[in-house]
């Protein structure tokens, strides 16, 4: 091609230099890229936790309810604070996912969205894949669920509420039961603005209690304060895991569905 040996050497040198330089640039690029990728890689659970202010969480959850509903409100009330305190990996989490818990999952009124959001937040910071390591997060979650069944709620009044809200006891973790029992006490309809505000207060209440539990867990001081009721424990001795009949998995207040004045199931042996 008419290139002299010298020219060939020169262009090879330029090429070598270019490759060297280019290669270096590439490897810098690759290292920087790898570091960024490493920083951005979503780690497995549990994610790091720092104590957060339960009152700040409650207010954020209340606002979150009016943005993405109950489940999102509780979750983002907590995780939003961790985003501020810790940053990544929390900043990488698409909290919009939690919107689907709305109204007992997709508005079907099954598991209360507040509880769904609380369970998700708890598992995010204390959970793990190994089945042995699920025991602690599950205990914290069960504490929130039992507290919810047994306590007069909502027990947090937001700073600037839209209405004043009366309390009720659900004896159930179901959105349907919880809402309907409140409607009976309050005298408002299930699709009223007041009921919506009640669920916003409930979102704040559940987020606050969950943050308190996570904080006490961070201090190594978590204890279950709300075990199943004595009546429910009695039922489970004959019906739950390890019992002779073992015909239920219900780790919840049995009386919420069985033996209520209206939804009565006559017990043959009691």
With CB under 6 A as the contact rule, which of the stretches 69-77, 87-95, 208-216, 251-259 interacts with ligand HEC?
A: 251-259
Burial of 24 from C-beta contacts in 10 A (0-12 / 13-18 / 19+): exposed
Decide: is 252 part of the binding site for ligand HEC (CB under 6 A): yes
* Euclidean distance between CA atoms 61 and 42, whole angstroms: 25
Q: Of 77, 158, 86, whose CA–CA distance to 121 is shortest?
A: 77
Report in angstroms how near the CB of residue 172 gets to ligand HEC at its nearest: 6
Tokens of 255: 């009386």
Q: Which of 45, 105, 218, 250 binds ligand HEC (CB under 6 A)?
A: 250
- Measured from the CB atom, the residue of 1 and 230 that comes closer to ligand HEC is 230
CB 98 within 8 A of CB 71: yes
Report in angstroms how near the CB of residue 180 gets to ligand HEC at its nearest: 13
Decide: is 175 part of the binding site for ligand HEC (CB under 6 A): no
CB 99 within 8 A of CB 198: no
CB 210 within 8 A of CB 118: yes
Q: Of 117, 111, 173, whose CA–CA distance to 146 is shortest?
A: 173
Decide: is 170 part of the binding site for ligand HEC (CB under 6 A): no
* Euclidean distance between CA atoms 33 and 23, whole angstroms: 14
Site string for ligand HEC, 230-249 (x = CB under 6 A): -xx-xxxxxx-------xx-
- Measured from the CB atom, the residue of 99 and 177 that comes closer to ligand HEC is 177
Q: Binders of ligand HEC among 180-239, rule CB under 6 A? A: 231-232, 234-239
- Measured from the CB atom, the residue of 133 and 226 that comes closer to ligand HEC is 226
* Euclidean distance between CA atoms 144 and 213, whole angstroms: 8
Report in angstroms how near the CB of residue 123 gets to ligand HEC at its nearest: 22
| Residues at the interface with ligand HEC (CB under 6 A) | 174, 231-232, 234-239, 247-248, 250, 252, 254, 256-258, 265, 267-270
């Amino acid at each position: 091609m008419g290139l002299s040996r010298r020219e060939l050497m020169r262009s090879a040198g330029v090429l070598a230099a270019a490759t060297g330089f280019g290669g270096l640039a590439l490897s810098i690029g690759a290292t920087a890229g790898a570091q960024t990728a490493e920083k951005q890689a979503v780690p497995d659970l549990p994610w790091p936790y720092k104590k957060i202010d339960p009152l700040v969480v409650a207010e954020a959850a209340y606002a979150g309810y009016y943005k993405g509903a109950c489940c999102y409100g509780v979750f983002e009330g907590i995780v939003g604070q961790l985003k501020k305190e810790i940053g990544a990996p929390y900043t990488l989490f698409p909290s919009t996912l939690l919107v689907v818990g709305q109204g007992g999952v997709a508005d079907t009124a099954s598991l209360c969205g507040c509880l769904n959001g609380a369970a998700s937040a708890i598992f995010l910071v204390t959970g793990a894949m190994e089945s042995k390591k699920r025991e602690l997060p599950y205990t914290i979650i069960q504490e929130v669920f039992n507290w919810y069944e047994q306590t007069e709620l909502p027990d947090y009044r937001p700073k600037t509420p839209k209405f004043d809200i009366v309390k009720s006891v659900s004896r159930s973790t179901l959105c349907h039961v919880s809402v309907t029992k409140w409607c009976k006490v309050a005298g408002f309809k299930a699709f009223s603005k007041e009921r919506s505000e009640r669920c916003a207060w409930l979102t704040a209440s559940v987020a606050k209690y969950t943050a308190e539990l996570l904080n006490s867990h961070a201090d190594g001081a978590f204890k279950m304060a709300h075990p199943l009721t004595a009546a429910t424990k009695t039922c489970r001795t004959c019906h739950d895991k390890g019992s002779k009949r073992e015909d239920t998995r219900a780790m919840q207040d049995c009386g919420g569905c069985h033996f209520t004045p209206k939804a009565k199931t006559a017990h043959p042996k009691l």
